[in-house]
């Protein structure tokens, strides 16, 4: 209640000062001044009322009292101003001196030094310790002692020594209590300050940590957003918890649609069922994962890879990284289309030339002269060579592009050898060579490999054997070299291959540098392709040759079917 009334006057009483002790003392003085002012005002009113009612004394006495009261008001106002705008100690000292003076001269001298007014001196002494400094009570006590001694002597009485001693003791007690109060306050302020500092430090730490966290998080977000690849993270329940802008664009969904959705519903519209199932399997089962998995997502082709996301506390979920593979897939398709088109477009006319030459040679359109027959033979031989080169170049291109697919399936070894015979017999007979084909009885009738590639290998080796053999025979033998392998050997009675050449004839575009082979120029790719195909089929190739005695190429292949693969 009182504080509510006092509140509006607070600013008036409070003095701003850098030293909190000073501010406190000055505020205290202000309160005292207000108190004095109120008392003075009451006194003034009392004087006026008594004068009007005629109960006061002589008019000069009334005038004197009135003047004193007004003087006291002015004095209070001056001290207030000094306290507010100048030094607090000066105002306090003035106030206390004024108070002491009023006490000293406000009563009869005898009463002052030994009577009723003597105890009044205790007031300024006590106040001094609180208003100025603790030790100030001693100064006031000293001043009081001097005053009452002087007055006592002036009116011829012995100074009141017990009273002076009592004032000194009072000063001591005031000093002690004021000092204790100041120390307690200063300790409290120190504690407060420390507390404030601690709170400020904590606040700063927290704010730093928060801004660090924010910076880190926004950095990660910025990195994630700037990645051209689509990144999407699924939690353990399969719901999307992180998705960047790229993945939203690739999947054709907005980021909001992606978040909290599972992969099944995201793929539902744009991915066919088989790819959907495969993706779900790869996402869930770490052991099935391959470096990348490609499938169509709407109009795009995506290349997708998966990884498990782990933190210190365990598995968080799985991340799926998608790359737009549309252009590469299109180029791939175009390349394949080009290769297959080229291969067809180049082979078909060459086959036609061979066919028509054969017709002429077989005298379908009438008899031909021996010169014509010779010419037709040259046409046939050159066309065959060109066809072989085209086939080899396309195969080499396919192997290099990683496009040569291997299809493992059961086949009859009898059929493979029959196919070979139907083509190679003519070649051999044209050169007057014997071609023999034998299959060892222990060889299983059905084997598992890529029969088309085997046919190619066989034809190449037999073709070479025929090409480099001038007289004698070419033999093909199928057998089992050990329990886990089967093999075929192509042996000829030709010129043989020098030891130094045996090391490089399997390299692309290398041929034995020999005057004899100059007559049999080819692309130099045949044996290189044979070796690469053999490797693709999981086998190896061996060569045994002696110059002048002939060569034997042996291709050894596993009996157990190999995994289907692509050259890569």
Partner 1 sequence: MTMNKIALVIEDDFDAATIFATALGKAGFETEVISEGDAAVARLETVTPALILLDLHLPRVVGTEILAGIRANERLKDTRVIVTTADSRMGESVRPQADLVLLKPTTFSQVRDLASRLVPGMRKTATAKLENPS
Interacting residue ranges for partner 1, rule: CB under 8 A: 347-352, 354-356, 358-359, 362, 364, 387, 407, 409, 411, 415, 419, 421-423, 425-426, 435-438, 451-452, 455
Length of the chain: 568
Q: Is 299 exposed, middle or buried (0-12, 13-18, 19+ CB in 10 A)?
A: exposed
The residue (of 324 and 395) whose beta carbon lies closer to partner 1 is 395
Distances from the Cα of 540 to the Cα of 471, 485, 554, angstroms: 29, 11, 8
Instruction: Say if residues 433 and 469 touch (Cβ distance below 8 Å).
Output: yes
The residue (of 186 and 436) whose beta carbon lies closer to partner 1 is 436
Of 447, 458, 456, 444, nearest in space to 411 by CA: 447
Q: Name the minimum Å distance from CB 411 to partner 1.
A: 6
Q: Which residues pair with 405 in a beta bridge?
A: 566
Q: DSSP string of 349-398?
A: HHHHHHHHHHHHHTTTTS---HHHHHHHHHHHHHHHHHHHHHHHHHHHHH
The residue (of 125 and 437) whose beta carbon lies closer to partner 1 is 437
Measured distance CA(34)–CA(363) in Å, rounded? 146
**How many CA within 13 A on the CB side of residue 94?**
19
Q: Name the minimum Å distance from CB 414 to partner 1.
A: 11
The residue (of 240 and 454) whose beta carbon lies closer to partner 1 is 454
The residue (of 139 and 350) whose beta carbon lies closer to partner 1 is 350
Q: Name the minimum Å distance from CB 358 to partner 1.
A: 4
The residue (of 218 and 436) whose beta carbon lies closer to partner 1 is 436
Measured distance CA(60)–CA(54) in Å, rounded? 13
Q: Name the minimum Å distance from CB 559 to partner 1.
A: 19
Q: Name the minimum Å distance from CB 355 to partner 1.
A: 4
Q: Name the minimum Å distance from CB 328 to partner 1.
A: 27
Of 236, 370, 366, nearest in space to 310 by CA: 236
> Which two three-digit tokens encode residue 152?
């006592």
3-state secondary structure 508-521: CCCCCCCHHHHCCC
The residue (of 187 and 409) whose beta carbon lies closer to partner 1 is 409
Q: Name the minimum Å distance from CB 389 to partner 1.
A: 14
- β pairing state of 485-492 and 446-449: unpaired
Q: Name the minimum Å distance from CB 448 to partner 1.
A: 12
> Which two three-digit tokens encode residue 503?
């090391």
The residue (of 68 and 387) whose beta carbon lies closer to partner 1 is 387
E-assigned strands of 244-364? 293-297, 300-311, 314-324
The residue (of 258 and 435) whose beta carbon lies closer to partner 1 is 435
DSSP 3-state of 477: strand
Q: Name the minimum Å distance from CB 451 to partner 1.
A: 6
DSSP state letter for 107: S
């Amino acid at each position: 209640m009182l504080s509510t009334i006092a509140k509006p006057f607070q600013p008036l009483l409070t003095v701003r000062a850098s030293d909190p002790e000073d501010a406190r003392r000055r505020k205290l003085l202000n309160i005292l001044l207000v108190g004095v002012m109120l008392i003075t005002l009451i006194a003034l009113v009392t004087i006026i009322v008594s004068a009007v009612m005629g109960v006061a004394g002589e008019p000069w006495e009334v005038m004197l009292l009135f003047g004193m009261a007004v003087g006291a008001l002015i004095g209070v106002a001056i001290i207030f101003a000094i306290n507010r705008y100048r030094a607090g100690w000066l105002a306090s000292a003035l106030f206390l001196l004024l108070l002491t003076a009023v006490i000293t001269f406000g009563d009869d001298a005898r009463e002052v030094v030994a009577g009723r007014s003597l105890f009044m001196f205790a007031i300024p002494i006590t106040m001094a310790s609180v208003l100025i400094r603790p030790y100030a009570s001693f100064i006031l006590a000293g001043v009081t002692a001097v005053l009452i001694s002087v007055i006592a002597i002036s009116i011829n009485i012995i100074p009141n020594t017990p009273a002076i001693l009592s004032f000194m003791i009072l000063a001591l007690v005031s000093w002690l209590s004021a000092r204790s109060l100041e120390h307690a306050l200063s300790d409290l302020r120190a504690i407060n300050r420390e507390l404030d500092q601690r709170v400020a430090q904590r606040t700063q730490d927290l704010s730093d940590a928060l801004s660090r966290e924010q910076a880190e998080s926004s950095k990660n977000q910025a990195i994630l957003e700037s990645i051209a690849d689509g990144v999407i993270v699924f939690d353990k329940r399969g719901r999307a918890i992180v998705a960047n802008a790229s993945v939203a664009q690739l999947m054709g969904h907005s980021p909001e649609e992606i978040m909290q959705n599972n992969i099944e519903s995201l793929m539902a519209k744009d991915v066919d069922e088989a790819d959907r199932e495969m993706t779900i399997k790869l996402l869930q089962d770490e052991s099935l994962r391959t470096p990348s998995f490609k499938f169509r997502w709407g109009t795009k082709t995506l290349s997708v890879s998966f990884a498990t996301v782990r933190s210190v506390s365990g598995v968080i979920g799985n991340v799926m990284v998608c790359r737009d593979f549309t252009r590469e897939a299109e180029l791939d398709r175009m390349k394949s289309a080009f290769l297959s088109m080229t291969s067809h477009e180049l082979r078909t006319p060459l086959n036609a030339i061979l066919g028509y030459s054969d017709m002429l040679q077989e005298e379908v359109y009438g008899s031909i002269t021996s010169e014509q027959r010779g010419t037709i033979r040259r046409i046939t031989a050159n066309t065959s060579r060109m066809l072989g080169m085209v086939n080899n170049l396309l195969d080499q291109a396919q192997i290099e592009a990683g496009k040569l697919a291997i299809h493992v399936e059961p086949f009859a070894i009898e059929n493979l050898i029959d196919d070979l015979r139907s083509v190679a017999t003519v070649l051999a007979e044209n050169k007057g060579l014997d071609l023999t084909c034998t299959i060892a009885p222990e060889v299983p009738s059905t084997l598992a490999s890529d029969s088309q590639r085997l046919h190619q290998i066989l034809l190449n080796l037999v073709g070479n054997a025929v090409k480099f053999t001038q007289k004698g025979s070419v033999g093909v033998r199928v057998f089992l070299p050990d329990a886990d392998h089967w093999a075929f050997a192509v042996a000829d009675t030709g010129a043989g291959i020098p030891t130094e050449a045996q090391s490089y004839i399997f390299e692309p575009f290398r041929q034995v540098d020999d005057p004899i082979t100059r007559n049999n120029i080819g692309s130099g790719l045949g044996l290189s392709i044979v070796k690469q195909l053999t490797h693709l089929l999981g086998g190896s190739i061996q060569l045994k040759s002696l110059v002048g005695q002939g060569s034997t190429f042996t291709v050894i292949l596993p009996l157990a079917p190999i995994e289907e693969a692509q050259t890569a």
